[in-house]
C-alpha cells in the first residue's frame, strides 16, 4: 500500500494552514495538487535552459529540445504506447477532443453519419460533437445509464449502424466515479462495425490506474496533466498508429510546417503537424516528472489506495441519514470520487460550510449538466480523493457534513 506519511511532505501546499487549520483537499477530480518534484523540474527549465525548442542549434536550445521530446517518450511509455509520435501535446483533454473533431471529424463525418456519446460525459466530450454534427448535418445519439450509474453495453447494438463513424465515451465518470468496462465495450463495438473509431476520455483514468492503450482497443485517448500531479496547460491526445498521418492540421503557423512558399505550404510530420507555435515546454517537462512520480509509486498501489478510500467513504456516507450517494455503491466499480447530496442542504451551502474547516470539495454540476438532468437533480456535492488523502480526511468530511446538517435544521 501507499505510505501517505512519505507522500504528503512532497506537496508543499499541504503544509499551508488557513486560520490555523490544515488543508483537507478533496477536489483532485477538478485538479490535483503538485509535488515539489514537478515544481522543481519546471523551475529548473526556466532557470537553467529556458529557451525555445527546435529552432536553435546552440546548446541551450538543443537541451530544451531533448527534454521536450524525452517528455513525449516518457508519457508514451506510461500509457503503453510503443511510438512516441502517437503522443500529441495539447493544452488539456478538452483541446484534444476538439482537435479530433476538427481534423478527423471534418474529413470523415458527413450528412449520412452518426456519432454516439453517453449521458455521463463531461461537457468536453459532448459539445465538440454537437458542433461537428451541426456543421455536417449529421446525427448525435447517446447511451443511457442504469439507476446505479452504469452504462448498458446492450444498448450499443441498437445504436450502431453502418453510418456510425465514432463513439466517444468516458473511461471514468467525473461525477459518478463509475469505471466503465471500456475494453469490453470497445470489443462489442468493433465486432458490430470494425470501421467505427473510438475516442476515450481518460482524464479521470490515467491519473488513477494503469492504462495500456495496446490492450484497450481505442483509436483516440485524451487526458490532462493537471489532474495527474502535473501542471495546467498541458494535455495529451494519443492517436493510434497513423490515423492522423494525412489529416489537415488543427492550427497553422510555426513549427507545424516543413516548407512554406507564397502559394503553398508543406506540413510537418505527426505529431508536430498538430503542435503549432511554441508549445508549453515547461508543461511537458513537468508532466513527464509527474509521470515519473506516479511510476515510482506504482499505479497498482495508487488504485488500491483509492479503492480503499472509496470503500471507506461509501460505507460512511451511505450509512448517514438523509444522504443520497450517486453512482455504483461498490468501491471496486468506481474511482475515489463520491458525489452526494444532503436533504435540505444545497450543495453550494454544503461546500461553504465545509470550507470553514478548510475542507475543499466541489459543488455544482461538475461540467456534466446532462448527467444531472438524468439524475433529476440541479447540482451535487463531490468529494474526490488521491494519493495524499487518508481515512482521517474522510472522517473530517463526515464531521463537516454533520455540522452542515445541524446548521440548516
Other beta carbons within 10 Å of 132: 23
- Could you tell me the pTM of the whole model? 0.96
Taking 90 as the threshold, does the pLDDT of residue 152 lie above it? no
Residues 303 and 282 in one domain: no
Q: Which of 295, 330, 359 is the last residue of a domain?
A: 295
Give 241's pLDDT tier (boundaries 50, 70, 90): confident
Q: What pLDDT is recorded for position 408?
A: 83
Q: Cell 470489443 appears where?
A: 187
* pLDDT above 80 for 186: yes
Does position 326 have pLDDT exceeding 80, yes or no? Answer: yes
Going by C-beta distance under 8 Å and a sequence separation of 6 or more, which residues neighbour residue 260?
Answer: 266
- 154 pLDDT exceeds 80? no
* H or E segment and range at residue 286: helix 281-297
Nearest to 29 by CA among 206, 291, 240: 206
CATH number reported for the structural domain that contains residue 346 in this entry? 3.90.1150.10
228 & 330 share domain: no
CA–CA gap between residue 84 and residue 116 (Å, rounded):
29
For residue 157, name the pLDDT band (cuts at 50, 70, 90): confident
CATH of the domain at 282: 3.40.640.10
Provide the angle, in degrees to the nearest 10, between the axes of the packed helices 281-297 and 36-48.
150
User: Is 367 a residue of the active site?
Assistant: yes
Q: Is residue 35 part of a domain?
A: no
Look at residue 122 and tell me whether its pLDDT is greater than 90.
yes
Q: What is the DSSP letter of 113?
A: -
What's the confidence (pLDDT) of residue 371?
98
Within a domain: 43:
no
Write down which residue in 264, 295, 326 finishes a domain.
295
In the predicted model, what is the mean pLDDT of the chain?
Answer: 96
With bands split at pLDDT 50, 70 and 90, how would you rate the model's confidence at 220? very high
Give the residue from 295, 326, 359 where a domain finishes.
Answer: 295
Closest CA to 346 of 293, 299, 408: 408
- The answer to whether residue 42 sits within a structural domain is no
* Closest by CA position to 109, among listed 171, 195, 186, 188: 195
What are the start-end ranges of the H helices in 298-346? 299-317
Average pLDDT over residues 190-210: 97
Share of the chain above pLDDT 70, in %: 100
Can you give the pLDDT at residue 164?
Answer: 97
Mean pLDDT of 365-373: 98
Tell me: pLDDT of 396 over 90: yes
Are 8 and 140 part of one and the same domain? no
Q: What's the domain count of the chain? A: 2
Out of 367, 369, 377, 398, pick the active-site residue: 367
pLDDT score for 286: 98
Stretch 268-293: mean pLDDT: 97
- pLDDT for res 218: 97
Q: Give the pLDDT band (50/70/90) at residue 268.
A: very high
The answer to whether residue 18 scores a pLDDT higher than 90 is: no
Quick check: helix, strand or coil at residue 356? coil
Instruction: For residues 201 and 308, state if they share a domain.
Output: no
What pLDDT digit, counting tens, does each position of 66-120 carry?
A: 999 999 999 999 999 999 999 999 999 999 999 999 999 999 999 999 999 999 9
Task: State the cell numbers at 199.
Answer: 475516442
Task: Give the C-alpha separation, 94 to 168, whole Å.
Answer: 13
Whether pLDDT at 153 is above 80: no
Distance CA 215, CA 183 (A): 8
d(CA 385, CA 303) in angstroms, rounded, equals 11
Domain span at residue 144 reads 49-295
Q: Is 307 a residue whose pLDDT tops 90?
A: yes
Bond preceding residue 271 cis, omega within 30 of 0: yes
Amino acid at each position: 500500500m501507499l505510505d501517505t506519511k512519505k507522500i504528503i511532505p512532497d506537496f508543499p501546499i499541504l503544509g499551508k494552514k488557513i486560520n490555523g487549520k490544515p488543508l483537507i483537499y478533496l477536489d483532485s477530480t477538478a485538479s490535483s495538487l503538485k509535488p515539489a518534484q514537478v515544481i522543481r523540474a519546471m523551475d529548473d527549465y526556466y532557470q537553467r535552459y529556458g529557451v525555445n525548442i527546435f529552432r536553435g542549434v546552440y546548446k541551450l536550445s538543443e537541451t530544451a529540445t531533448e527534454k521536450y521530446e524525452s517528455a513525449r517518450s516518457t508519457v508514451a511509455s506510461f500509457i503503453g504506447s510503443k511510438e512516441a509520435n502517437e503522443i500529441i501535446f495539447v493544452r488539456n483533454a478538452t483541446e484534444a477532443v476538439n482537435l479530433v473533431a476538427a481534423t478527423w471529424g471534418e474529413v470523415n463525418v458527413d450528412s449520412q453519419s452518426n456519432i454516439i456519446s453517453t449521458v455521463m460525459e463531461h461537457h468536453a466530450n459532448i459539445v465538440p460533437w454537437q458542433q461537428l454534427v451541426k456543421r455536417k448535418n449529421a446525427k448525435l445519439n447517446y447511451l443511457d445509464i442504469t439507476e446505479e450509474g452504469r452504462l448498458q453495453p446492450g444498448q450499443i447494438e441498437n445504436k450502431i449502424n453502418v453510418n456510425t463513424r465514432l463513439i466517444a465515451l468516458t473511461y471514468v465518470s467525473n461525477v459518478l466515479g463509475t469505471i466503465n468496462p471500456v475494453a469490453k465495450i470497445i470489443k462489442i463495438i468493433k465486432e458490430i462495425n470494425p470501421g467505427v473509431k473510438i475516442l476515450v476520455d481518460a482524464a479521470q483514468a490515467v491519473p488513477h490506474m494503469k492504462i495500456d492503450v495496446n490492450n484497450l482497443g481505442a483509436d483516440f485517448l485524451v487526458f490532462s496533466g493537471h489532474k495527474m500531479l502535473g501542471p495546467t496547460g498541458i494535455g495529451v491526445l494519443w492517436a493510434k498508429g497513423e490515423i492522423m498521418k494525412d489529416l489537415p492540421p488543427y492550427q497553422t503557423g510555426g513549427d507545424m510546417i516543413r516548407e512554406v512558399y507564397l502559394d503553398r505550404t508543406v506540413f510537418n510530420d505527426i505529431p508536430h503537424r498538430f503542435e503549432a507555435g511554441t508549445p508549453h515546454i515547461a508543461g511537458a517537462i513537468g508532466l513527464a516528472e509527474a509521470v515519473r512520480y506516479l511510476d515510482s509509486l506504482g499505479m497498482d498501489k495508487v488504485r488500491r489506495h483509492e479503492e480503499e478510500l472509496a470503500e471507506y467513504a461509501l460505507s460512511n456516507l451511505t450509512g448517514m441519514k438523509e444522504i443520497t450517494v450517486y453512482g455504483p455503491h461498490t468501491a471496486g466499480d468506481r474511482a475515489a470520487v463520491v458525489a452526494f447530496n444532503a436533504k435540505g442542504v444545497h450543495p453550494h451551502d454544503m461546500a461553504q460550510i465545509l470550507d470553514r474547516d478548510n475542507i475543499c470539495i466541489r459543488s455544482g454540476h461538475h461540467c456534466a449538466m446532462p448527467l444531472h438532468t438524468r439524475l433529476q437533480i440541479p447540482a451535487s456535492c463531490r468529494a474526490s480523493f488521491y494519493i495524499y488523502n487518508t481515512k482521517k480526511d474522510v472522517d473530517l468530511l463526515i464531521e463537516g457534513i454533520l455540522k452542515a446538517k445541524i446548521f440548516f435544521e
